[in-house]
Amino acid sequence: MNTQLSEKLFEEAKKYIPGGVNSPVRAFKSVGGTPLFISKGYGSKMIDVDGNEFIDFIGSWGPHLFGHNPPFIKQAILNALENGTSFGAPTELEVKIAQLITELVPSIEMIRMVNSGTEATMSAIRAARGFTGKDKIIKFEGCYHGHGDFFLIKAGSGALTFGVPTSPGVTKGNAADTLIAEFNNIDSFKKLIKENKSSYGNTIAAVIIEPVVGNMGTVIPKENFLKELRDICSEEGIILIFDEVMTGFRLSKGGAQELFNVKPDLTTFGKIIGGGLPVGAYGGRRDIMEMISPSGPIYQAGTLSGNPIAMSAGYAALSYIKNHPEIYDTLEKNSAYLENGIREGIKSLGKNYQLNRIGSMMTLFFTEEPVMDYKSALKSDTQLFARYFHEMLNRGIYLPPSQFEAMFVSTAHSIEDLEKTINASNEALRKVLAN
Ligand SMILES: *Cc1c(COP(=O)(O)O)cnc(C)c1O
């Protein structure tokens, strides 16, 4: 594969942009090699600046449920552009998209639009703290909620008590307010609550979770895990926040909460909700959301929030979902086809690598033990993954450049695309296991 122009651009980029990229995982650091500079995307395909074409399974890390540049979203953006790009005043479209979201996701009684998933999760935590008057939050090890200070925390050594910052610049104070539990381990959650009681009750404002995890690779909640979480939060007066930035509108029209039939107090969105433009949102219980400024005292604002171009793309995406609920059956069928094809290839080589899939999210973990939390995900052979990644790339298949990410099937992937991917996977596996 000729990647001359990408290499040249990367050298140039590194002079002006930290690491040459505007978001770290794009740099291919965990798989090695030079990131490809993309010039164009259409349907299931992406083309790089050297003219190489790929079947894309990143979908811009989640937003592209319908593949690249679907005509109905493109047209909606073009129509909106005719009227101007931003007003800093309310528009009718903001009312329509808010109505539509409350219709698609029943737990959402009110919603506030922001500009990214990170902004959504930061704002939801502030809402929960403001509403409860409590400071501490619980997150689960391996879940990602954007780059807000109080999320960049990992479990301290040994006991699951106080967290420690995973990044310089995050204060000890932030770390002390964030407690870390283990995904799929309800006892680890109960233990934290017990350890954090004052004479007034527990000191925990909120728990935030990816109800289905995508950010340590695809990890699926065990039977009843989310329901138990819900019950404990209700008993203890803790705000349950589902971070559905990735799973929202992907796993079903109502997200993971619809699939698992668990109703959170607040939900955060991003990715698909913006139809490929920078959008996030948070919403949920009316009594909590009415505390947000200007109807209540909890401050949160945004110059470009509810931007008309972004809203037109998001509204087109969500309207399509409302009018074509059958897309989720197609996504399930096609994703199962891909899963089975890859699975057979693994089996035929006498391996038992774990392929976690739910709907159109999946991850092939290079470990033979079940992956159900962060610790088990970390057992993966990341060097083997890196070689598999490059073998796939050489065969025209663009996977996320990290073992700990989900790949996404879109409605634009054809059966031919998936067959090609299965064949490439079988060849790639044979190659990486041969030497
Ligand atoms: C991507 C993601 C975020 C962060 O969203 P950005 O738009 O990148 O800020 C937060 N939570 C989850 C679950 C995500 O997948």
| Residue 141 confidence (pLDDT) above 90 | yes
Distance CA 264, CA 390 (A): 40
High-pLDDT (> 70) share of the chain, %: 98
Number of the ligand 1 atom closest to the C-alpha atom of 23: 8
Residue 258's pLDDT band (cuts 50, 70, 90): very high
pLDDT tens for 229-248 read 999 999 999 999 999 999 99
pLDDT tens for 364-417 read 999 999 999 999 999 999 999 999 999 999 999 999 999 999 999 999 999 999
pLDDT tens for 261-274 read 999 999 999 999 99
Residue 162's pLDDT band (cuts 50, 70, 90): low
Report the CATH fold assignment for 71-323: Aspartate Aminotransferase; domain 2 (3.40.640)
- 149: tokens are 């200070």
**Antiparallel, parallel or unpaired: β 204-209 and 239-243:** parallel
Segment 232-235 long-range contacts (CB within 8 Å, at least 24 positions apart): 232/186, 232/189, 232/190, 232/193, 233/207, 233/265
Distance 247 CA to ligand 1 centre (A): 10
Backbone φ/ψ region at 157: left (φ over 0), alpha (ψ -120 to 50), beta: beta
High-pLDDT (> 90) share of the chain, %: 95
pLDDT attached to residue 198: 86
The CB of 279 under 6 Å from ligand 1? The reply is no
The CB of 245 under 6 Å from ligand 1? The reply is yes
- According to DSSP, residue 146 is labeled -
The CB of 361 under 6 Å from ligand 1? The reply is no
The CB of 145 under 6 Å from ligand 1? The reply is yes
Q: Which CATH superfamily is domain 4-67+326-434 in?
A: Aspartate Aminotransferase, domain 1 (3.90.1150.10)
pLDDT attached to residue 411: 98
Contact (Cβ atoms closer than 8 angstroms) between residue 408 and residue 214: no
Q: Which of 125, 144, 268, 405 maximizes ligand 1 atoms within 8 Å of its Cβ, making it the mutation to test the pocket?
A: 144
Q: Is 411 exposed, middle or buried (0-12, 13-18, 19+ CB in 10 A)?
A: buried
The CB of 270 under 6 Å from ligand 1? The reply is yes
The CB of 328 under 6 Å from ligand 1? The reply is no
Distance CA 282, CA 114 (A): 8
Contact (Cβ atoms closer than 8 angstroms) between residue 203 and residue 197: yes
Q: Give residue limits of the domains in the chain.
A: 4-67+326-434, 71-323
Number of the ligand 1 atom closest to the C-alpha atom of 210: 13
Number of the ligand 1 atom closest to the C-alpha atom of 61: 1
Contact (Cβ atoms closer than 8 angstroms) between residue 229 and residue 242: no
Q: Is the link from the previous residue into 106 a cis peptide, with omega within 30 of 0?
A: no
Amino acid at 7: E
Distance CA 425, CA 177 (A): 44
Report which protein residue has its CA nearest ligand 1's atom 6: 117
**What mean pLDDT is reported for the chain?**
96
Centroid of chain to Cα 323: 24
State the Cα torsion 410-272-28-398 to the nearest 10°. Answer: 10
pLDDT attached to residue 161: 53
